[in-house]
Structures are given as structure tokens and as C-alpha cells.
Amino acid sequence: MDITDKQLLRYKRHIMLPEIDFKGQQAITEAKVLVLGVGGLGSPAAMYLAAAGVGHLTLADPDKVELANLQRQIAYNESMLEQQKTEACQQTLRAINREVDIKPVAQKLQGELLQQTVAGLDIVLDCSDNLATRFEVNRVCFEYNKPLISGAAIRWEGQISVFIPQSQDSPCYQCFHQPGTELDQNCSSNGVVGPLTGVIGSMQAIEAIKLITGAGDIVPGRTLLFDALTMQWDSMEVPRRTNCEICGHRS
């Protein structure tokens, strides 16, 4: 489907970029992306992807909007309290861009449902808040050869990594974080400064757009670490573990 005159005007600032142009914007409008968790990270990520014109967004989250969410989860407002997050987020995204096809999944994605969902999409954004989900979505993404953009934020620190199963050099999330080697920490028990989640979620959206359009460089397994207290970025390369039970079998 060709870009319409309305879309040409709407996405002009993208089309002006030589790294995106008409072809890239067309790819964006045809892309299918899963946002797993529409909280602090998933809210800005989903909003920017909808604004960019991503053709289909699947939003997965079992929770309802709570008052404590409003400090950072910018897809919601006070009138949405006690609504399912996926339905409330869908309302926000439709107000941004009604052309985007949105599928809300108001339950925890796991097991066969997670496999079926990932299999039908192009890219997965892991915006979840627990290690069990992160390990499972990592396994499923490598099983179905789907790029995984993983983000995390807690207290004043954030991180983002991209894992690409199609690349023989790409590690997986489990190469970086092995089960049982660290505590499962979350914002509810440790706190988080609100705008930090916007920084990391927005970067997840940027990496998704780069993957869709082929713009820029995607370094599989490179983890960016952000310290908001000092405003310092660090970069760390995560090598693929040859004995990793998820990705180590690749030759």
C-alpha cells in the first residue's frame, strides 16, 4: 500500500531523513510490534511507535491502572484509574494516531499464548518488570527468530540492549543475566525517578524504528547503561556464551 497524501504530510519529518525516506516510512506502516508491558517503559515506547505510524501494535499487560502508576506511566491519567492498562493505553494511542491497528491483550503473556503472539509479529519490546518474564520472552524470541529490544529502569539507573537471533554474533538476554545470579528487583520495592522510564522507553522505540527501516547501526548485545544522577552513559559489550542453553547451540 502506497503512502497517502495525508500520511505524506503526517510523516514528513521522517521522510525527510535520508535514512528513512519513503521506503522506510512504508516499512514502518507495515510493521508489527509487540510491546510487552505498558507501564513506565511501555507507555512512552508505545506512544512514540504509534506516532511514528507503526502499522500494528500488540499491547500486553495484565494489570489495571493504579494511582501509583501516574508518577511515570504517561499513557494514563486520573480518569483511567482501575481500567485495564491495555484498554486505557489503546485509548491514548488512538487519540494519537487512529490509523494504527492496536490489539490489547489484558493478560499475562506466557506459554503457548506468548509463542503464538511472538510468532505473528516482527519485533518484540520487552518492557516488563520481572526476570521470569524476561527470560521466557528471550527464549521465545530466539526460538522464533524475532529481534528483542530489552529495557529496564530502577531507582536512577536504566539500561537497554538489542538481541538479534538472526545474527550469529548476537548473544541473548540469558548470556547477560543468568537465572539465579541476581535478585529480581522492581520499581515497587526500590523506587524509580519518573522521567528515567521515559528515557529508556523512548530509546526502545528508536531502536525499533532503526530495525524496521535499516537506519543506523544496531550492535547486537551492546548494553547501554544510563546513570541519571550523574547524567553519564556507559556502553558494555555482552559476548555470546557458547554454553548458553538458549543461543549457544548456534554454529
Find the Cα–Cα–Cα–Cα dihedral 197, 233, 189, 187, rounded to 10°. 10
- Are 36 and 137 contacting, i.e. CB atoms less than 8 angstroms apart? yes
Task: For residues 5 and 114, give the distance between their C-alpha atoms in angstroms, rounded to a whole number.
Answer: 37
Residue 247 lies in a domain: no
Question: Considering 127, 187, 244, 247, which one is annotated as catalytic?
Answer: 187
Separation between Cα atoms, residue 35 and residue 123, nearest integer Å: 9
- Expressed as residue numbers, the domain containing 95 is 31-237
Contact 158, 226 (CB under 8 A): yes
Q: Is residue 20 part of a domain?
A: no
Model pTM score? 0.94
Domain assignment present for 6: no
Q: Using an 8 Å Cβ cutoff, are 203 and 224 in contact?
A: yes
Question: Strands 222-227 and 56-60, how do they pair?
Answer: unpaired
The grid coordinates listed for 206 are 528508536
Domain contains 122? yes
Residue 242 lies in a domain: no
Per-residue pLDDT of the chain (251 residues; tens, 9 = 90+): 678 889 999 999 999 999 999 999 999 999 999 999 999 999 999 999 999 999 999 999 999 999 999 999 999 999 999 999 999 999 999 999 999 999 999 999 999 999 999 999 999 999 998 999 999 999 999 999 999 999 999 999 999 999 999 888 899 999 888 776 555 566 667 889 999 999 999 999 999 999 999 999 988 889 999 999 999 999 998 888 888 889 887 65
The CATH number linked to 228 is 3.40.50.720
Q: Does 145 reside within a domain?
A: yes
Domain-embedded: residue 251: no
CA dist., res. 148 & res. 247, Å (int): 13
Residue 247 annotated to the active site: no
Residue 213: inside a domain = yes
- Set of cell numbers at residue 49: 511507535
| Nearest Cα residue to 103 out of 28, 141, 46 | 46
3-state secondary structure of 148: strand
Number of domains in the chain: 1
